[in-house]
Amino acid sequence: QKQFFSGKDHPLSKPDGLMHYDLEVSGFPSSHAGHLVLLGLTNQDYPHCLRIEQWPTWDLPVLRWAKSQGASAGFAHSGWGLA
């Protein structure tokens, strides 16, 4: 994702429509509990993790990490019923 998204407003954004992408936690160990969207991160790298597989396996640490940066965080959607 990082090769395409900076975590900042895209230069083509307009006053009536922003293009902005930070991070959707999808394909990460904690994503089985639902995909998180994290907006306003100052750092997109989870502490002490070099690979996605090293991220926490549940959402609370990820939510706390986002909150510690002043980011907005919540569920994009749940995984319920998507078997």
One digit per residue, the tens of pLDDT, for the chain of length 83 reads: 566 667 778 888 898 988 777 777 666 666 666 778 888 888 888 999 998 889 888 889 999 999 999 999 988 876 665 55
Q: Check if the beta carbon of residue 25 is closer than 8 Å to that of residue 46.
A: no
Amino acid identity for residue 2 in this structure: K
Q: What pLDDT sits at residue 29? A: 66
Its pTM stands at: 0.67
Q: What pLDDT sits at residue 32? A: 64
Give 3-10's long-range contacts (Cβ < 8 A, gap of 24+).
Answer: 7/41, 7/44
Three-class SS state of 5: coil
